[in-house]
Structures are given as C-alpha cells and as structure tokens.
Amino acid sequence: MRARSLRRRMTEAEKRLWWHLKRVPVESGHFRRQSPIGPYVADFVHHTARLIVEVDGSQHGFDQGLRSDAVRTEWLAAEGYRVLRFWNNEVMLQIDVVLDTIHAALYTASSNGAGAGTPTPSPSPQGGGE
C-alpha cells in the first residue's frame, strides 16, 4: 500500500529518472519503481542485478538522514543489494552522469556477478539535495 502511494507522489527528480530507467536496455530483468524490499521501499530496483537506485532530497544530508540511510544500506547489502544514491539536483542537472553510473553498475553486475566492486556515489555531508 505504501509503495503504491509513493508511486503516485514521485518527486520531479524521480519522475525524470524513471523516464530514463524504463528505457534502459538490459539483457535480463528491468527496473521497478517504489518497490518494497523487506521493511523498506526502494526508489528504483533491478532485482536481477541486485541494484537499488535512490534519489535523495536535502533531508538525507542531515545527521538523522545520514544515520537512517546507513542502517538501510547495511540491511539491503546484507540482502545482497548494492545501493547507488544520487541527489535530486544531480538527476535534474547531470542526468547523463547519473545514467552512466547506473549503466556501469549494471554492466559490472552482469559481467562479474552482483555485488562486484561497483562504485557507490553517496550524498555529501554538506547536503545539496534539492
């Protein structure tokens, strides 16, 4: 129920990234948006590649958000997922860089097995989310 509500209320950055992710050619599988995984709802997930893409607003740059994200990422990693995080403004202003990073993660997953050494961008402690 919560995932359905989140799909209806996607941010502009999430809508923009979703438009691109729907068109990503991947040999097996596809991206899903606002998908439940255990106690969490991932912004975007490719289950076959075990890759989660999160689009973060400014609230994620504060201590509470950073702590919550760390706990969430640790739990998801224990379940075999890799998490890529991007700020809203990165998606809005640098979509090519965001997509290149996602494509590299997908390629790494398909050629080396999920979880193999993909760089994970993370929000800077200074904020800059929206």
- pLDDT tens digits in sequence order for the chain, 130 residues long: 555 555 566 899 999 999 999 887 777 789 999 999 999 999 999 999 999 999 987 554 546 767 888 899 999 999 999 999 999 999 999 999 999 999 999 888 655 444 434 344 444 434 444 4
Q: What is the pLDDT of residue 23?
A: 85
End-to-end CA distance of the chain: 26
Strands 82-87 and 51-56: parallel
Q: Apex CA 55: angle with CA 63 and CA 106, to 5°?
A: 120
Predicted TM-score (pTM) of the model is 0.75
Q: State residue 57's pLDDT score.
A: 78
All domains of the chain in start order, with CATH: 2-112 (3.40.960.10)
Helix residue ranges per DSSP H, the chain: 2-8, 12-21, 63-78, 88-93, 95-112
Task: Give the pLDDT confidence score for residue 85 in this predicted structure.
Answer: 93
